[in-house]
Amino acid sequence: MEDKHFCCQGCKTVFEILNENDLCEYYSFDKNPGVSLRYVSDESFAYLDEAAIRKKIAEFDSDSFSRVRFYVPAIHCISCIWLLENLQRLQKGILKSEVNFSGKSVRIDFNPKEIAFSKVARLLTSLGYAPKINLKTEELPNSVGFNKSLVIKLAIAGVGFGHIMLLSFPEYLGLDGTDEYLQRIFSYINIALAIPVTFYSGREYFENAWKSFAQRQINIDVPIAVGLFALFFRSVYDILWNVGPGYLDSLAGLVFFLLIGRWFQSKTYENLAFDRDYKSYFPLAVQKLVDSEWKPILVYELSPEDMIRIRNNEIVPADSLLESEAAYLDYSFVTGESKPVRTVKGDWVYAGGRLIGQPIELVVKKRTSQSHLTSLWNEAAFQKPEEGKYKRIIDKAARAFTWVVLLIAVVTGVTWYFYDASRMWLVLTSVLMVACPCALALAAPFTYGNMVRIFGRHGFYLKNADVIERMASIDSIVFDKTGTITHGANTVKFVGLIDDYELAWVKILTAASTHPLSSLITKSIMSHSIVEIENFKERLGSRVEGYIKGAYIKVGSAEYTGGKDPVIDASRVFVSINGEPRGYFQIETSVRPQVGEVVSKLGKRVVALLSGDSNGESNRMKHIFQEYTKLLFNQSPHDKLGFVSSLQQSNSKVMMIGDGLNDSGALQQSDVGIAVTDNAGVFNPACDGILAGKQLGLLDKFLTLSKTSIVIVKIGFGISFFYNLIALSFAIGGFLTPLTAAILMPISSMSVVGFSTVAVMWVAKQTFKEAK
């Protein structure tokens, strides 16, 4: 390749294509052309050729000419524009392509007779510009990157404001009586200018106020709408009845600055936005068939026609068709009905169903969205009662505050009426403007939202922002053992008599289970066999059984399989075939390296260790945990739940840390339930957070950070109140014009948002710096 070096096969392919077509100029535009591989996926896009879908996404579609606009998030530099606009040279059939850089989209005209829809999408993907296609919303993400209507409103308000000021000059400078007719003409022109400014540019405030009245509530736009309304009609009255010149200059200026404030605010929010990006979602993985091998891939990389395999207790990630003979699915996450539904080959299986029984294979039919699964996670059934305490307080406070503001405004207005009636309207308006408690409502969502994002970046994925609030109040921590404290195995060996065939059967059985010990056994057995299991059953946390080739195999605890339990310091899993005990797997699990340190850091908060296994490893656990930690073995899922709720009855706020399999009841019962996992897979909506196994050592840091978040929110409240109090007292005294009030208001909101964001980032940086 002309002694050139490439980082990956993808870049080499791109270079080959470019070189072939003499488009190497691509490499002279930027120092580092090419794109990050983040967005590259291997979707087939075959669904784009469906007539119905084509109709949906194409801007224009006929037999010989189609126009489509793809949203391509990977567009990032001048080389991208150049490459994407030369598509017609790379591919016959493409007529023209045009990039919208700000909107990160590309519009392609092509001849569908020569190149299929799906092929266009594949071409883009092969170049590293995978289009993002969302069939649900149909609309592309905001293609301009800013709010057009706000800009237009701003322009109209600006023009109106400027001219009203200009025409008010005679008033400012004082004209003598002979020119009174001029003044009246100017005033009438002012009214004409003020109408679009008030009722077009300021429309949103009236609409919001009206909506809140319709819902018999009151929101923070009400005082503003009242202020605008009062100023406008008072001015019109003054002018028409020749009482005075009115306050139209103030009114127009007010609208103008309110809109500027909005513009700045939206810019600030955009930059500090805490929208969960894909990084703060848990990277849910699923087994996909790639070249006759099962490989874990991320759920949002699934595409239609992919073959996936779901194991017992795993959740179906996307709407699919069943490929295996039959399956039982539990749709309780979706419908609340916990009775499993029997599904046979060729039937639909819906996202969110949980498999009960032996593994099944599915053909994905619809693309899935991670946000759908997250919304499942936030289903009402899994909500905890005290969720959103602060939110409720803020809502209440904001509402009460609005009434207080209106009351203060009325009292101030009446007082000024007797004191200096000519200034009453201006003072009234300033009071209404400045007292708006909008900053109050922003402190908590921005602080928690940013915290959730930072946690996500460190491998701790929270269900929602409210969890942080609850984490801050935790005083007791309960650990699960297998899969949480221990992980992986140093040695797995079979003690007893078993041949390779039978071992392979055992492997099939354990592979169907998601229990951590099962996966260890599966990994350790080398022999292979392709047989179907019949009558597969798994009781969570203790045993699996099934018929393989007529042999009835049970894997599980000693009592269950009828084996004898020798006393040694390791976990044991027993096997029986046709009721005859064959021996046991002796598994010496390895303790996660960070556990010792984090347990000692958490100190007295670590209340108990619950294990579903026998007490074979109790000696090792005693080394890790202090004597005040209770070590309980042979705990059924029910016992674990009972233990957590008894702790809660003694007024403890409990955090349960488990593997999310045999302790989901306890996770749900606890105040904060956290599932620790290593390579994703099992998705348990009962938990509040998912922690990547290798980050367990940071647990104490996460707890400290959530406490700090509460402090930050409180400081934010303080700042907001401080602003309102100071500004309000100035406004009541008549020292604040409505104009200044309109400028101050967004500044206060922005400073609260800025403070909480910067504080969260600084605190997080300090905390995690130590960790490294």
Partner 1 sequence: MLIIILLISISLTIAIFFLVAFVWSMKSGQFDDTYGPSVRMLFEDKKKTKSPKP
Binding site for partner 1 (CB under 8 A): 22, 25, 78, 81-82, 85, 99-103, 143-144, 148, 151-152, 155-156, 159, 162-163, 167, 179, 182, 185, 189
Q: What is the dihedral of CA 129, 131, 132, 137, to 10 degrees?
A: 150
Q: Cα(417)–Cα(34) distance, rounded to whole angstroms? A: 69
DSSP state letters, 26-65:
HHHH-SS-S--GGG------GGGGSHHHHHHHEEEE-SS-
Minimum distance of partner 1 from residue 262's CB (angstroms): 17
CA distance 263 to 747: 12
Give the nearer residue to partner 1 in terms of CB position, either 80 or 667. Answer: 80
Say if CB 352 and CB 336 are below 8 A apart: no
Q: Based on CB atoms, which residue is closest to partner 1, 156 or 509?
A: 156
Closest CA to 142 of 26, 273, 29: 273
Least distance (Å) between residue 14 CB and partner 1? 18
For partner 1, the closer of residues 127 and 439 by Cβ is: 127
Nearer CB in complex with partner 1: 77/298 = 77
Q: What are phi and psi of 458, to 5 degrees?
A: -105, 20
Q: Which helix (H) or strand (E) holds 338?
A: none
Taking the complex as a whole, the smallest distance from the CB of residue 78 to partner 1 amounts, in Å, to 5
Contact 535, 551 (CB under 8 A): no
For the CB of residue 144, give the shortest distance to partner 1 in the complex, in Å.
5
DSSP 23: -
The minimum distance between CB 739 and partner 1, in angstroms, equals 21
Question: What are the residues whose beta carbons fall under 8 Å from the beta carbon of 743, sequence distance 6 or more?
Answer: 257, 261
Nearest-approach distance from CB 15 to partner 1, in angstroms: 16
Report the nearest approach of partner 1 to the CB of residue 81 (Å).
6
Comparing CB distances to partner 1, the nearer of 119 and 163 is 163
In order of 540, 542, 543, 615, the CA distances from 564 in angstroms are 22, 16, 16, 14
Asked whether the beta carbons of 202 and 258 are under 8 A apart, the reply is yes
Closer Cβ to partner 1, 106 or 444, answer by number: 106
Nearer to partner 1, 25 or 305 (CB): 25
Kind and range of the H or E run holding 207:
helix 203-214
CB nearer to partner 1: pick between 34 and 357: 34
160-177: burial string, b at 16+ Cβ within 10 Å, e else: bbebbeebbebbeeeeee
Smallest separation, CB 247 to partner 1 (Å): 21
- Least separation in angstroms between residue 56's CB and partner 1 is 22
From CA 17, how far away is CA 20, in angstroms rounded?
5
Q: Kindly tell me which of 73 and 488 has the beta carbon lying closer to partner 1.
A: 73
* Longest Cα–Cα distance in the chain: 119
Shortest distance, position 24 Cβ to partner 1, whole Å: 10
- According to DSSP, residue 386 is labeled T
3-state secondary structure of 571: strand
Burial of 567-591, coded b for 16+ CB within 10 Å and e otherwise, reads eeebbbbbbbbeeebbbbbbbbbeb
Q: Which is nearer to partner 1, 129 or 448 (CB)?
A: 129
